[in-house]
Amino acid sequence: MYSKLLALGLIIAMVIFASCGGPKERKKMSELDTPEYHYNQGKKYLERNDLKIASNEFNLAKSLKNDFAPAYEGLALVDIENNKLEDAEKKIKKALSMDSDWIPANVAKGRWYTAKGEYEDAVDELEDAVDDVNDSDSKMDKKSVKMDAFYYLGVAYKEWGKYIDAQTTFQKILVIDNTNVKASKAIKELAEYQAAVAGQSPELKKIARQKQISRSDVAVLFVTELPLDKIFRKTTVKEQIKFSAPGQKTMGKRDDPSKAADETVAADVPANHWAVSFINEALQRGIIEKFPDGNYHPEENVNRAEFARLIEHFMVKAWDDRSLETKFFGQVSPYSDVLNTAPIFNSIMVVTSRNIIPGFDNGTFKPLSPVTGTESLNIIRNLKAQF
């Protein structure tokens, strides 16, 4: 009798524990406060690369329904974008354990393989997703999911170096929807990527895949990819002065040729920084500027306007021609998003008039957009052609 009561007590305890265990689902606050609405909103912000809002929306979806597979798929994608690949793997597995028919989780798994550089596995996973989407019983926009699978299959082929397969795959999206802007853009970017990586080292091919580059990356590219000795071969000792922004005490101070290679010349670039020698060389040659506070801000990402300014400064230095800094003053701006009174207007005109950093077909320059790795390599190539 005692053993039966003990067994019954254990069963009751397990039931109570199961009902209380795990995160408690919240009550919806509106008829529109649903897991599906939050998931779709999260995917929208994920496309805009606003990872914070996307993550919040996926978590809101999960808080309404603990076993909502799409929420975990969405959070996995955020982890992939943040390069948290172990966390992403766990969430993908969780999504598929909750709904093995949720094909977007398979697409996420393909993206995860691509992020790891395991392209053959990525292609297999994404091809299976394309084949399986029509047979899935899960509620989804199957047309959109198939196009999504094709898109990331094309990305996997592109990063694998199989450019014909990548182009063919992107074109399959246009067969489904001939107005798909994302696919058209992908085909154009594929051509730019091929041009950027042609003949490049493995390291620069990895740079080409980056969504944005830092000021450290710029210093390395300027020092290693531009023939500085050839460009500055006629530069006299008098011209070899350290550039300092107006207002700095070191303005016009000559470089000390005995300065050790590992000694930093920017206050926020320590001697053990990975790019210290490149940054030092760029600053000492005067081809890149510091900020007025004496800092270089090596980890800050570079946008298109700042890159234009950096290149204008390089050209002024290389050609010893300060008239470039005012050449386009008073002219009408050809770009709807750049006023001719903007401080960066002249720099933008210098680089666009020489096709070093081209504008966009829609009449914009997108000055605040980040410079991608692919763009940076093509820009450096275009700049090199000027000398």
Instruction: Indicate whether 258 pLDDT > 70.
Output: no
Which amino acid, residue 54?
A: A
Burial of residue 347 (CB within 10 Å: 0-12, 13-18, 19+) is buried
| Residue listed under structure tokens 């028919």 | 101
Which amino acid, residue 26?
A: R
| Residue listed under structure tokens 């500055």 | 232
Distance CA 36, CA 144 (A): 15
Distance CA 249, CA 62 (A): 56
Express each pLDDT in 203-227 by its tens digit.
898 899 898 999 999 999 999 999 9
**Residue 141, SS3?**
coil
What 8-state DSSP symbol labels residue 325?
G
Q: How confident is the model at residue 232 (pLDDT cuts 50, 70, 90)?
A: confident
What pLDDT was estimated at residue 289? 86
What pLDDT was estimated at residue 22? 57
| All structural domains of the chain with their residue ranges | 22-198, 212-384
What pLDDT was estimated at residue 93? 97
DSSP notation for 202-234: HHHHHHHT-S--BHHHHHHHHHHHS-HHHHTTT
Express each pLDDT in 58-112 by its tens digit.
999 999 999 999 999 999 999 999 999 999 999 999 999 999 999 999 999 999 9
> How many separate helices (H) and strands (E) can be counted in the chain?
17, 0
Burial of residue 339 (CB within 10 Å: 0-12, 13-18, 19+) is exposed
Distance CA 222, CA 278 (A): 9
| Residue listed under structure tokens 């003949």 | 199
Express each pLDDT in 307-364 by its tens digit.
999 999 999 999 999 999 999 999 999 999 999 999 999 999 999 999 999 999 899 9
Express each pLDDT in 129-152 by its tens digit.
999 999 998 889 999 999 999 999
| Fold of the 22-198 domain | 1.25.40
Beta bridge partners of 303: 370
Residue 69 contacts residue 60 (beta carbons within 8 Å): no
Average pLDDT of the chain is: 88
**Phi, psi (5° rounding) for residue 241?**
-120, 150
What pLDDT was estimated at residue 264? 61
